[in-house]
Amino acid sequence: MKQKTNLNNTLRTIRIIGLILISPIVISALTCSLPVQDQSLKETSIAQYIQATLNAEKVMTLEAQHTQSSISNPTSTQSIGTSIDSTIRAQEATLNAHNTALAHSQTPGSEGQVTSTTQTPYSSTVTPDSIKITEWKMQSWVPLSSGCRLTDEPCWKSVPVADLDEILTSKNSVYIDPNWQNPCLSFWHQSVKRGSDNKFVAEILAGLNGKYVIIKNLDTFVESWKRDYADLEMFDGKDITFHFVRYPGTTSWYVQEVEVLANCPIP
């Protein structure tokens, strides 16, 4: 039994000395193989193996205590030996895990990159700040490519017809997001007086489930391009269409840059 104990002690000592001797070699190999960009990884490697050496030296001290105790107090040999074995197994597991992490960090294409193995999942909803309306159904309206406020975008012009309303209707509905702070309809328009017209009368309506709500009344001529707004807060959570209605007259109405804004610039 004593010979078997001595043999186990000798094997433990050889393993511990091996850990101490191989640590500098492994440190040198790892730090030389890592790219310059992985400076933090080099420092971590060195710290890990220095700690391994210190732990190995600690195990040698325990081994010495174990040898001395086996001579003076044979009943304590088993508990001390178990402590040494646990320390060695824990140290080997740490070194193996560290080596695995280093191997993964050196996979092709990973030089100079620091990657995280864990990510926090999240979800987000992207809400546009504005929605431009560019497709229209036209009754006594025509699209124009010239004479508009912006030369690189089209505008629309009403064509006066006796006793016939001129209606410009958006082809698609727009959803008014309840999360928008101050939704509104924004548009540029112009209505220069022509002929015998004494009064300009027009309305903008919002269509909802076959019903129409007036959101803007216009009753004056606009001699130069002007930007106007119509409040849409009452339609939170609804899909609505837009209708520009010019009542019979001899003056044409020009409209451009129609869009829904999530946060209107005016109260």
pLDDT tens digits along 4-29: 455 555 555 555 555 455 555 444 55
Domain match, 145 and 77 both: no
Q: Are strands 166-170 and 202-208 parallel, antiparallel or unpaired?
A: unpaired
Hey, which residues does 135 pair with through a beta bridge? none
Q: For residue 64, what pLDDT band results from cuts at 50, 70 and 90? A: low
125 found inside a domain: no
C-alpha separations of 187 from 227, 236, 264 in Å:
6, 20, 12
pLDDT on residue 87: 52
The alpha carbon of residue 63 and the mean position of all alpha carbons in its chain are separated, in whole angstroms, by: 55
Average pLDDT of the segment spanning 137-158? 93
121 found inside a domain: no
Query: Among residues of the chain, what percentage have pLDDT more than 70?
Result: 52
> What's the total number of domains in the chain?
2
| Domain containing residue 247 | 130-261
Domain match, 139 and 79 both: no
Domain match, 63 and 164 both: no
